[in-house]
Amino acid sequence: MYALLDTIDSPEQLRQLDRKRLPELARELREFLIESVSQTGGHLSSNLGVVELTIALHYVFNTPEDNLVWDVGHQTYPHKILTGRRAAMSGLRKPNGIAGFPRRSESPYDTFGTGHSSTSISAALGMAVAARLNGADNRSVAIIGDGAMTAGMAFEALNNAGAMDTNLLVILNDNDMSISPNVGALNNYLAKLLSGKLYHRMWRSGEKVLGVVPPVLEFAKRAEEHVKGMMTPSTLFEEFGFNYIGPIDGHDLDTLVATLHNIRRLKGPQFLHVVTQKGHGFLPAEEDPGKFHGVGKFDPRNGDSVSAAGRKTYTQVFGEWLVDMAAQDERLIGITPAMSDGSGMNAFAEQYPDRFFDVGIAEQHALTFAAGLACDGMKPVVAIYSTFMQRAYDQLIHDIALQNLPVVFAIDRAGLVGADGPTHAGSFDLSYLRCIPNMLVMTPSDENECRQMLYTAFRHDGPSAVRYPRGSGPGINVQAGMQAIPIGRGEIRRQGERIAILAFGSMLKPALEAAEKLGATVANMKFVKPLDIELVLQLAENHELLVTIEENAIMGGAGAAVLETLQSSGKVVKTLCLGLPDEFIEHGDHETMLRNCGLSPEGIISAIEKKLT
């Protein structure tokens, strides 16, 4: 089907191709990518944008000896296809299939596991230093973009790398601007020149050579930094100590290959600015790259989704509450670290633009920014994924909880997240939140409870968190109004005998189903902190076995809070804690993942019956 692509199973085979055939390969690779992702779902726009860049990198560099470190990692589908995993793409993000992000255990070409942003420069610098210490001549390349340069970690790494005489190449994949006239023939020519041997030698010794190059003759009497500064946004990166080259057209294979060939021979830290277009080569994705950032199955002919519409998601519940709450209280400020769409904040951003702040991929800043707002009377609401909240743990403790500031955390993607796998799973938030003084931690069991808990958190005079899972809830209708719920109080949802199941959040539904067959009592605990101690002791007094169940790591989680309560009260009762095991859980279907963790109704029943025998 693909005359050229079907012959490429490794970069070694790619490097045997005549350079003139690379555009043909790019066309076939893009066609395969669209067809493949239309069947599996996944990230599309970002991958379409790096087809040519990926081909050029593997064509020029001696991978896997040379290290390619892809930032975020959701732009690595072309990389996977060219490194022997083309046939495996049909199992992308499926159980026992390949991951949607680089995995060191998956391929020697995946030199560093990613999923969170802005780690590439630090990791590639470490590899470059290791090569120098080992006396090796291999190269390390960090490919960063798609907003990842907004994170402080990227600039920390640039600052460190620029002070070292290390052979590191940083490629800025700039896909947030169109290919404007300045990224054309003249600039491409200049990039080749600035990466060439002659210029580099002269640059090192302070010579001025641009005057002999006809396309830039008018700059002959200017200093080289003025030439580069007038034609390129080089100043910032050269201040960090990098030799800046670009910007160049990231879809021009001839320019990419020629420039990378030159750069590979250079010594010291190099910075190549490449301009690409998200969704390039697929019109629906070009017109709406955000829609095709992460997609389900779609029709490759027109981009139309073929996924059935489901119930209202928790993300939608949050987005609707945020708009309604903002209408009632002008102190509400919405903050997100580059996840406006994923967190359901777009409607709020449109209606209240002066009160909406997307701070970029800067979770630490987001939290301390919120703290500053709270200090002066605002009511910040930070919409953040559970896995990304981990990146701002010090700010949560030091800047917010220690000062007992009224900041609301709407924590999305709590628990397992299906196809995105362990890099994006929210497996630990109950454990890392409940140990922090002053924190209020709530776990809604359905959509309406989520809305009421968000309102409760907003009214609370201190830091609070409402954590909810990805996707839809059990289908409970959401009340239009808002009513605060009693803090630290759970409720009995089913009365039974012998066994009491204490369910937290999303686990209430399978707990109720299991209880029907077991004849068990079920409590919707609602709060992890403060825990309803009175209810726990009451259930311990009247039941033979207490079972806690949560979609969070068992270690240090809600079940541990119950055990601590029993221990401190001196109450002796048989207990069983169910939750996520002490391991990173691989990607797959969410329902299957829960079943494998023993968190389906059948798994709960089996574990309880085993405990009672």
User: Of these residues, 93, 103, 278, 526, which one is catalytic?
Assistant: 278
Which tokens is 150 given? 């907004």
DSSP per-residue letters across 10-23:
SHHHHTTS-GGGHH
Which tokens is 459 given? 């009214």
Which tokens is 584 given? 């990173």
Which tokens is 44 given? 């599309």
CA 169 – CA 120 distance, rounded (Å):
11
Helix (H) or strand (E) holding 537: helix 533-542
Interaxial angle between packed helices 447-459 and 314-328, expressed in degrees from 0 to 180 and rounded to the nearest 10: 40
For the question of residue 363 being annotated catalytic, the response is: yes
User: Of these residues, 93, 391, 413, 529, which one is catalytic?
Assistant: 391
Q: How many CB atoms lie within 10 A of CB 11?
A: 23
SS3 236: helix
User: Of these residues, 28, 224, 320, 363, which one is catalytic?
Assistant: 363
- Report which residue type is found at 40: T
CA 142 – CA 158 distance, rounded (Å):
11
For the question of residue 330 being annotated catalytic, the response is: no
506: left (phi over 0), alpha (psi -120 to 50) or beta: alpha
User: Are the C-beta atoms of 480 and 526 separated by less than 8 Å?
Assistant: no
CA 391 – CA 394 distance, rounded (Å):
8
Sign of the four-CA dihedral 283, 285, 286, 287: positive
CA 125 – CA 118 distance, rounded (Å):
13
Angle at 229 between CA 224 and CA 234, to 5 degrees: 110
Sheet holding 499-503, edge to edge: 491-494, 521-524, 499-503, 545-553, 574-580
Expressed in percent and rounded to 5, the helix, strand and coil fractions of the chain are 45, 15, 40
CA 316 – CA 270 distance, rounded (Å):
44
CA 70 – CA 65 distance, rounded (Å):
15
For the question of residue 86 being annotated catalytic, the response is: no
Q: How many CB atoms lie within 10 A of CB 208?
A: 16
| Active site positions, annotated | 278, 363, 391
